A and B are shown apart, each in its own frame.
Chain A
Amino acid sequence: MLSNDWAIEARGLVKRFDGFTAVDGVDLSVPQGAIYGILGPNGAGKTTTLRMLQGIIDPDSGGRRILGADRPHDVAHRIGYLPEERGLYPTMKTYEAIAFMGALRGLPLAEGRRRGKAMMEEHGLSYAIDRQIRQLSKGMAQQVQILGTLVHQPDLVIFDEPFSGLDALNQGKLEKMIRALAAGGTTVIFSTHVIAHAERLCDEVAIIAGGRVPFAGPVDVARDRIPAQVRLETRHADGPWRAALPADARHEGALWSFPLPDTGVEPLLRALIEGEAGILSLSIERAGLHDAFVAIAGEAAARALGQPTQEEAA
């Protein structure tokens, strides 16, 4: 049963193409006003999932509710969408392209033109207002399309790989724009295979691998799926303290690294001191989203191939 408490809720979405299962039972719950990341390697099913959520394509099975509506087109005027394959009419002027995208979402054309010009000025693109799309660089055209995605001031913005094609400077500007949208109450959902963006921006993420979602939830919870890593440097290479280290501890010279034991840091510290390790430095590093992503996606891939996960193998 789908509820209205979420900006997007999907249950058991399945999509097959030519005998290939692109999406295999995806469940998602995107909170209102959140910045939500959909992470996954290339070909994981991110784009197909986003397309099904918006009604561009029909799922073979499963249900979805977007902004409280069962039929996505009923709330299309409240949604902005930047597809992965950028598309604009080459002979259109930039502000006309923005106005056209607004008109498709119910914004009157004249108002769209006015807003289009204003937005271009606001984002430092005033010199390109009268240019045709074909006269722009790929990155600039992408910026115009992003403005077209937002011109009707949607309540939900869906970006599919929004950072690809942008230089570092414009990636930073886009991150700032996404934060500003969320601060204004807009729900932002974006897909990416570059984890750093999601780590900096997202409240919650869903990790898609092989058409399934092995993890969905807050970023902190994802990171907590991987135990913190202990980095230890000792004066003595060997001694009774070695018994306190887990079996899978790795070392390069006097520098050791191993997952923080379930018993915590205090028993470990006590054992090291009593074992006369001669501690030079000891730090505990929380796992990053990238590590969590690699581990979770890797486990999902192993399960899909019928192989034991690292945990099971251990």
Chain B
Amino acid sequence: MIHKGRLSTLAGAFVVARRDFVAILWSRSFIFFLLGPLFPLFVGAMAGSIGAHVENAVDTPQIGLMMAGEDIDAMLTARHALEPALRDDLPDLVVVARLHPGEKPDPRAALADKSINGGNLSAIISGTAKAPVLTGTPGRLAAWQGAVSLIAARATGHGPDVLPDVALAPTATSTAAQAHNRVLTAQGGQTLLFLLTMLLAGMVLSNLMEEKGNKVIEILAAAIPMESVFFGKLFAMLAISFVGIGVWAVSGATLSMAGWVHIPELVTPAVGWPLFIALGVAYFAMAYLVLGSIFLAIGSMANSVREIQTLNMPVTMGQLMVFFFASYAMARPGSAIEIAAMVVPFSSPFAMLARAAMQEGLWPHLAALGWQALWVAIFVRGGAALFRKRVMKSGPQGTGQKRGLIAALMGKK
């Protein structure tokens, strides 16, 4: 008789994790998991392309001229002379009407007329070059008032005749630029972390649905502590996510080397790239474990697959709230909000990753990882205790009582 003896909590978790890992790796849901990032990228690319097209079509500023012929010629000549020095700071000028002597222009009617310049006029300059009148919406007026004034000054001979060349001496960075770019790196890190945990949360819920459907949960609960079951499931999914990240990283690097995709350059984070990546992996693991342990605890108390499915929406909303909270806190370094984001276990991984991008120092991260691990343990222990206390009813139950997940969560006896 071979008796290896009682399985420890970790050994039991390993048995569950090994089974889940192999099963998920060979399942169709893993294919969808691998393809998951393609959908937001595709949607993002489509939205970007459409947005750029719309911007080009609508936002290229064109200002109409409704002036006497000599004023129009003077304005166009002045703009042409200023263009080499000011480039994009000048609006395009389009002739709408050369006015005959005594003719009164109607700029408002011209702006409302869609047949003029294809309906693409931001504003209308009327009056004379000496006393130009700019007609348009308040936003447009504020944007182009200075440029129109400069062109008119030049047209009437009051502007600078010569614009000296300015020699350019570019530098790699400045303190202001570095701070700004590190914010971009932090935002990028947080967004990646959020997308990964969101993908994984869906996988955890799918896995729970499978477990509820095939009724293996009682065999697991009888053989090993529920903590082992929870940890096993969490670690299996974490390992799966690392496989997925590996596949995405290799694919991305291959496509980048082939020149098919452009990976945006981010400024070096405050702790340096190697440590930032290592912390990113650790915080991703913690963000997932904290969230996943809560999902498992709640999901295991659900009485049916439908109850678990109804969790999807609040789960996604909850993740979004955490992400927004951490993003909001990132922009307020040193504030009570930032400290709260670092302390609250759900937002802590996001907030700390942003900190790694913007501030140096390793010890705060080690402390944060320990703090987050503590909460994972608390959530798993709490979930297991709730499961043993309130789940696995059989036979008839009380009538007229709230049952299932809601009753369990409310502590209804």
Interface residues of A (CB under 8 A from B): 16-20, 22, 42-45, 47-48, 51, 54-58, 73-79, 81, 83-92, 100-101, 103-108, 111, 152-153
> Chain B residues near A84 (CB, 8 Å)?
394
The answer to whether A20 touches B391 (Cβ under 8 A) is no
Closest B residue to A54 by CB, please name it: B222
A127 to B52, CA, bound (A): 64
Binds A, one of B35-43, B160-168, B401-409: B401-409
Question: How many A-B contacts at CB < 8 Å in the complex?
Answer: 127
The answer to whether A56 touches B388 (Cβ under 8 A) is yes
> Chain A residues near B219 (CB, 8 Å)?
81, 83, 87, 101, 104
Interface residues of B (CB under 8 A from A): 1-7, 12, 15, 19, 23, 27, 214-225, 385, 388-398, 401-403, 407, 412-413
One of B1, B3, B216, B401 near A88 (C-beta < 8 A): B216
The answer to whether B392 touches A20 (Cβ under 8 A) is no
The answer to whether B215 touches A77 (Cβ under 8 A) is no
A90 to B6, CA, bound (A): 27
A108 to B393, CA, bound (A): 32
A55 to B384, CA, bound (A): 12
Closest A residue to B393 by CB, please name it: A17
One of B6, B216, B407 near A77 (C-beta < 8 A): B6
Closest A residue to B217 by CB, please name it: A87
The answer to whether A85 touches B215 (Cβ under 8 A) is yes
The answer to whether B220 touches A106 (Cβ under 8 A) is no
A40 to chain B, nearest CB (A): 10
Closest A residue to B14 by CB, please name it: A103
One of B23, B223, B392 near A76 (C-beta < 8 A): B223
Closest B residue to A43 by CB, please name it: B395
A56 to B225, CA, bound (A): 8
> Chain B residues near A51 (CB, 8 Å)?
218, 222, 392, 394
One of A18, A48, A83, A104 near B413 (C-beta < 8 A): A18
Q: Kindly name the residue among B12, B392, B397 whose own CB sees the greatest number of chain A CB atoms within 10 A.
A: B392
The answer to whether B7 touches A56 (Cβ under 8 A) is no
The 5 residue pairs across chains A and B that have the minimum distance between CB atoms? A87-B215, A20-B398, A43-B395, A104-B223, A87-B216
> Chain B residues near A47 (CB, 8 Å)?
394-395
B173 to chain A, nearest CB (A): 54
The answer to whether A57 touches B7 (Cβ under 8 A) is no
> Chain A residues near B214 (CB, 8 Å)?
87-90
The answer to whether B392 touches A77 (Cβ under 8 A) is no
B382 to chain A, nearest CB (A): 14
Closest B residue to A51 by CB, please name it: B392
Q: Tell whether A42 pairs with B221 under 8 Å between CB atoms, given A74-B6, A104-B7.
A: no
A310 to chain B, nearest CB (A): 25
Q: List 17 A-B contacts (CB under 8 A).
A: A18-B397, A18-B401, A20-B398, A20-B401, A22-B393, A22-B394, A44-B395, A48-B393, A56-B222, A57-B391, A73-B225, A77-B6, A81-B223, A83-B219, A85-B215, A87-B214, A105-B7
The answer to whether B221 touches A77 (Cβ under 8 A) is no
The answer to whether B4 touches A83 (Cβ under 8 A) is no
The answer to whether B218 touches A105 (Cβ under 8 A) is no
> Chain B residues near A16 (CB, 8 Å)?
413
Q: Kindly name the residue among A20, A45, A152 whose own CB sees the greatest number of chain B CB atoms within 10 A.
A: A20
The answer to whether A106 touches B388 (Cβ under 8 A) is no
The answer to whether B6 touches A106 (Cβ under 8 A) is yes
Q: Tell whether A57 pairs with B388 under 8 Å between CB atoms, given A18-B407, A76-B6.
A: yes
> Chain A residues near B388 (CB, 8 Å)?
55-58
B202 to chain A, nearest CB (A): 20
Closest B residue to A134 by CB, please name it: B214
Closest B residue to A100 by CB, please name it: B19
Q: Kindly name the residue among A42, A81, A87, A91 whose own CB sees the greatest number of chain B CB atoms within 10 A.
A: A87
One of A20, A74, A83, A103 near B397 (C-beta < 8 A): A20
